[in-house]
Structure 1
Amino acid sequence: MTRKTSLIALLGYLALSFLLYGRGFGNGEIFQPGGDPIVYIWCLNWWPFALSHGINPSVSDYIWNPTGFPMWWANSIPSLALIFSPITLTLGAVRSWNIINLLTPALNAYACFLLIRYLTKQTIPSFMAALIFGFASYITAQQLGHISLSLVPFVPMTVLLVVKRAARELTRIAYITVMASMAIVQFGISTEVLASSAFFGLVAFLIFRGRYRNSHDLFGLATDTVIASVIAVLVLSPALYYMAIGSKELPSVINSPKMFSADLLNLLVPNPTIWLGGDSLQSLAARFTGNFSEQGAYIGIGILVILILAIRASAQERWSKPLWITLAVTAVCSLGPVLWFAGINTRIPLPWLIFTKVPIIRHALPTRFTLYVSLVIAIYIGIWLSISTGSRKARYAATLASLLFLLPNPKWFAFGDVTTPAALSKLEVMQALGTNANAVVLPYGYLGNSMLWQLNSGMAFKMAGGYVGFVPQSQWKYKAMMYLYDAEQAPNQDSFNQAVAEFCASNRVTAIVLAPGASKYLATAVSNLPWPKDAYGDTTVVRVPNL
């Protein structure tokens, strides 16, 4: 019966995910076409492409050539790339991307369902409560294009594993093996989620330790977790090596934790990615820090009220106090180093300010900790729904009504197409660029779709540029970077020519591809370069001479 109900639950979550996100799935277009999704699509192709061609996948010189880019710092999702490589190699990386995105909310919810059902031993309450995590506003926001952050089933699965080991329901060998394996796979999905999971896992362990150290095997749990971590580190040592040598290309802070912190008002005010209320409150949500993909703190009044009722109903339970303390600590950390309210920096310092000075963890973005807030809320409400006293039907109805306010806004999630210039298509790229080409493709980096165009060419050329999250620090020494990114205009054509010539000579560029979408100023400046040019429809290829 357990296997049957588990399968029904999984199918239910899959059906809901497809209903909410699957419109247009069969047309071959891209789910959420845009900058970040294109990066992930490129990465899904990169790992099987590199391995099948005998290329070291840890450093790619197909972007930022000839320097190359440290792929372990690029959220390059090698775990997903390898798992879905059969689909990628037969149907293409776009199809893999689309499938992963449709699976994501369902897998998140299903993993949370397994955790809550273990805790409550009841199916329907677990199924309903798991929706709070699997389809949380955090997940909805990250579904705009951050698959490495939205696919998080290992977070509740890790909690389940820890709870079972503490209760002595797992052998040491089984726990260590599964924990190490999940850590390795999670490392290949998101190092940030792995690191933050470890951090908040330690916080929760310390909070729960006082209540459970005599009744549960917490010493054995801690020992076995350390052993699993050591095994994972040993297995991942090659990746860690390449991360270490590639760290020199990182900025001091990849993104500002202050600017990517949860706004306190976002707890009650949705952004436009949420169906009910999102559009009407868009002007207010626009004030929140970060962008819409990083505004995942929303839980809504309904769920907040139910959470309060759940905490009150379980106040006398042994586990309740450490659980709500864990919730409070996690929620406060998600607010970041200073308190933001309605887009206003109150300048009130918060505890996370301390961690902005700590190596590695300072790169974490606090607003993403709302992932753990939604998990704890789901656990609380799942237990509340399973209580046998009182009107269970009323609790079900209230929860279902509150869940409606988490549904994604359909107009923000769709499939679309990205046109590849003829000059970069498989049919014409060799004629346009020749063999062993290293091109500057405009629009440059995150401003355009050069990563997808390179993929669609069959990886027929390399690029002195690209977009994988940040620009290697060694590239900022070139004045041309400011011109290519349209961050600054050259004072005159001669200055532009000189800066671009220096960049091309240092990076062994053979051609500049001027595709539609470049700014008028940049297109004019490139067209006026004193180098040979060929037109391919609406695209111009500038031949770079030996400099």
Structure 2
Amino acid sequence: MSTDGPHHLFSRQPGRLPDTTEGLSVPKFVAFGFLASIIPVLLLFQKTLLHPSTIYIGENQDSVQFMWYLGWFWHAVLNGHNPLHTSLLNAPIGLNLMQNTSVSTEALLFGPVFYLFNPVLAYNLAFAAGVILTGLAAMLLLRQLRVSRWLAVGGGVLIQLAPYSTAQSADGHINLIFSSVFVLASLVVIVRVLLHSILHPRILGTVFGVLLGMLFYTSAEVFATYAFIAVLSLVIWTRLSPKRVRQVIRLVPLPFLLWGLSITLLVLSPGLYTFFDGTQIPSLAKAVMPVGVFVTDLLNPVLPTSVFLFHIHLTSVLTDRMSGDLSEKGAYFGIPTILILYWAIRKLWPSQLYRGLTILFVAVFVLSLGPKLHILGLYTPIPLPWILIQHIPLMREALPSRLMFYDDVIAVILVIGAIHRVLQTTSAEKRKKNARMSMLALLTLFLLWLPRVDFASQAMPALQPALMPKGEIYKRIRNQPTTLITSSYFSGAYFMGLAAQLKFTVPFTNVYGFPYTSEFLSTVKPQVQRTNSIYTSVYAHLNERQAVTAIKSFVSKRHPRYILDAKPYSPVLPKQLSQALNSLYGEPYTVNGLRLWPIRK
């Protein structure tokens, strides 16, 4: 078994990394790395930069949900409430925020911006910070793997622009963008401990535990998949060389393990208790997310979606046929990238570190395919390994397609590692030739993964005067349980933006911004099955009699004081739905297009 080169997994080095780069000192590396990490932000925020307080990243309703969460943490703390649970959504039952991507870590850091300025600016700053910190953490990770500083910077930018991250950015998934930061930063610590001697194991253990805690409070889903991938990695390398793995584990300082484990458990304990506390888990109004929808399609790696600059109409049509929404189709590599990756694997195969990474890459991709194989949207009966782990606690909340983050990182590490190796040749002429080829390979990846010029963004609707503190509608609904009604799933979650603008002064009976609940679904199940869409509210398919039944069922369980039809956050209600509300509660109180129905007891 070969142990050649500086990349052998078990060759521990003294604390300082060897300087294999000419002309780029540590201060220049830091400065250049930071400037380079801003490039992806400029690409993603093209429409947002000039109006950061009104225009935000994301083309669907998820972004405004995170705005609400960014403000809730400090509102709860300053008012003596539990920041991991809220009664202002799903009122009067409340909502377990640990099960609803509540980004408590980011809320802790950026919540003050929410109050000092506005929700949109807080969200945009948090999103931009997540992208930049992802790049910086990736650069540090590559340096810990003894890659030259120039290549570490280039690899960091590629990880920022990785297809998974670009796809998730299109839907404004700040939780998944920031999760990347903590995963990569914790990997820096792990590699530091495994490959280099460390002087302060207790400090490093504490940092590691805090990073894992911050990851958990950003996304319990990513925390679970990260733990699973870590175990899978250990199994793979143990199979490759069990004796040497045991040797490395023995070299890990005991204080690092004790402090890391203790801090992790201490930080996680409130969140774990809340997550598994059945008394706080609402039994109503779960979103309809069919199993096996958000998975990697077998052809997605070679077909770019519309989020990328270089795509054609045909690839958009083909990827639209794949299951799931745009943000979950982030498995694209491109045929040139796959060929470059194949070259890198061949170059690095003698290294035990990279051989294990290659096996892990393949295993993760297979897992991302989900419980059954999908080919261009066709759901086949072919079972896959995910079916064996999909019911593990925490893992059952994970979407298989999101495992592609790990494959993107592994792919970049493999390519950068191979380029670093070929540039170490002693022949000046050959080194110059390899440098040109390496630059071409990096440029190819960069161009293939560029986001489209008009990247997804939209403007927050201005708050209507009637909903401002002195407005007539606001005076009525303040501190009163209110139902925001809509016939569209996509407008339903935009209500979270309205809720954020109202600064937690109105308890809403809506759940997670969705316009439907389990009571409605049970009432009109045949209609839901006929529409065959998880994105259409059942309200859009009810006649007046059915609408009356559904509304009465909801009101009897949630006891709202008002029902609000809020424009411009919602499209025009279907005529039969408006008639049902009028027949139950009379003509609404109307101000500038806003309609409010008081619920008579």
TM-score, normalised by the number of residues in structure 2: 0.83
Aligned residues of 1:69 and 1:472 also touching (Cα < 8 A): no
Matches within 5 A, 1:396-415: 396-415=439-458
How far is the alpha carbon of 1:109 from its aligned partner? 2.0
Could you tell me the percent identity over the aligned residues? 22
Q: Please name the residue that 1:218 is paired with.
A: 249
How far is the alpha carbon of 1:175 from its aligned partner? 3.2
Q: Please name the residue that 2:12 is paired with.
A: none
Give the letter for the 2:408 counterpart.
S
Q: Secondary structure at the match of 1:464?
A: coil
Encode CA deviations 1:116-155: one digit per residue, 9 max, x unaligned. Answer: 1221341112222223321111000100221111221122
Change (3 A) 1:470 1:263: farther
Encode CA deviations 1:59-111: one digit per residue, 9 max, x unaligned. Answer: 21111111111111110001000111232221122101111222333322221
| Distance in 1 separating the partners of 2:242 and 2:156 | 25
Q: Secondary structure at the match of 1:56?
A: coil
Matches within 5 A, 1:88-487: 88-144=114-170, 145-151=172-178, 152-170=180-198, 171-209=200-238, 210-211=240-241, 213-214=243-244, 217-219=248-250, 221=252, 224-225=256-257, 228-245=260-277, 246-247=280-281, 249=283, 255-277=289-311, 279-387=313-421, 388-389=424-425, 390=430, 391-428=434-471, 432-443=475-486, 447-448=491-492, 449-467=494-512, 485-487=537-539
| Distance in 2 separating the partners of 1:42 and 1:197 | 26
Change (3 A) 1:194 1:283: same
Q: Secondary structure at the match of 2:197?
A: coil
| Distance in 1 separating the partners of 2:396 and 2:231 | 17
| Structure 2 unpaired stretches of 5+ | 1-24, 529-535
Change (3 A) 1:371 1:405: same
Aligned residues of 1:192 and 1:364 also touching (Cα < 8 A): yes
| Structure 1 unpaired stretches of 5+ | none
Aligned residues of 2:206 and 2:259 also touching (Cα < 8 A): no
Aligned residues of 1:255 and 1:363 also touching (Cα < 8 A): no
Change (3 A) 1:247 1:462: closer
Q: Secondary structure at the match of 1:236?
A: helix
1:20 and 2:63 matched? no
Deviates further, 255-264 or 332-341: 255-264
**What is the total number of aligned residue pairs between the two structures?**
544
Aligned residues of 2:46 and 2:455 also touching (Cα < 8 A): no
Encode CA deviations 1:308-347: one digit per residue, 9 max, x unaligned. Answer: 1111112222323212111111111111122222222232
| Distance in 2 separating the partners of 1:471 and 1:515 | 16
Q: Secondary structure at the match of 1:436?
A: coil
Q: Secondary structure at the match of 1:512?
A: strand
RMSD of aligned residue pairs (Cα, Å): 2.9
| Distance in 2 separating the partners of 1:425 and 1:542 | 18
Encode CA deviations 1:285-320: one digit per residue, 9 max, x unaligned. Answer: 111121111001001112111111111112222323
Aligned residues of 1:158 and 1:179 also touching (Cα < 8 A): yes
How far is the alpha carbon of 1:252 from its aligned partner? 9.4
TM-score, normalised by the number of residues in structure 1: 0.91
Give the letter for the 1:486 counterpart.
V
| Distance in 2 separating the partners of 1:430 and 1:519 | 19
Encode CA deviations 1:171-222: one digit per residue, 9 max, x unaligned. Answer: 4313321111001111111111111111101111222234375385324549
Q: Secondary structure at the match of 2:448?
A: helix
Encode CA deviations 1:18-50: one digit per residue, 9 max, x unaligned. Answer: 243243323221312641101000100111112
Q: Please name the residue that 2:100 is paired with.
A: 74
Q: Secondary structure at the match of 2:74?
A: helix
Give the letter for the 2:555 counterpart.
C
Give the letter for the 1:7 counterpart.
A
Give the letter for the 1:322 counterpart.
G
Q: Secondary structure at the match of 1:346?
A: strand
1:536 and 2:591 matched? yes
Encode CA deviations 1:218-250: one digit per residue, 9 max, x unaligned. Answer: 245497557634532233222222212234638
Encode CA deviations 1:487-534: one digit per residue, 9 max, x unaligned. Answer: 4655544x6445434432432311111234143232333234333531
Q: Please name the residue that 1:36 is paired with.
A: 62
